[in-house]
Amino acid sequence: MIDMAKEMPLLARHEGVWDGTYTYFNADNEKVDEHASRLLCRMTGDDEIPYHQTNYYTWPDGRTEVRDFPASYRDGRIWWDNELIQGWAAEVPLDDKNRTMMLYWQRTGDPSLYLYEQIQISDDGKNRCRTWHWIRDGKLETRTAIQEHFVTKDWKTIDEEMKAKHGA
């Protein structure tokens, strides 16, 4: 069995429920979108899908969206390969403070668009900030700034609540 806490101890610090805000800016630095989020980050104990993240988004006008990101593990990284994205996440060993993760992914079916994400978690594990750089054909298209705070380690209870609320 894959012990994700041993294989990726920094990722394990992110396990649980995070609430936050996603803010999107175009290449001219104009805000083009903002919405609330609730992310469930799970260490599943399953060798095939040892990490599973579900993102719940809510816009001020009432729109909602749910995105599911099951991930495999190999070569010191978690990997996604689904209908939305293909890519990986890894801890950054050069960060001797053990706060930084880096992600790369591209949109499935759109090789001209790729994204790099940097995640910083606070030393106390109660806050994190994330930045995305969306790049199309080698040029910046969008930046996303995400601020989140930790809600609970008990993702199982929240998972059941969210499934009931969203009819999953």
Residue 1 has pLDDT above 90, yes or no: no
pTM assigned to the model: 0.95
Residue 168 has pLDDT above 70, yes or no: no
- How many residues make up the chain in this entry? 168
Question: Who has greater pLDDT, 149 or 166?
Answer: 149
Burial zone of 155 (CB within 10 Å; 0-12 exposed, 13-18 middle, 19+ buried): buried
H-assigned helices in the chain: 4-7, 9-13, 155-166
Structural domains in the chain, sorted by start = 4-166 (2.40.128.20)
pLDDT in tens, 78-133: 999 999 999 999 999 999 999 999 999 999 999 899 999 999 999 999 999 999 99
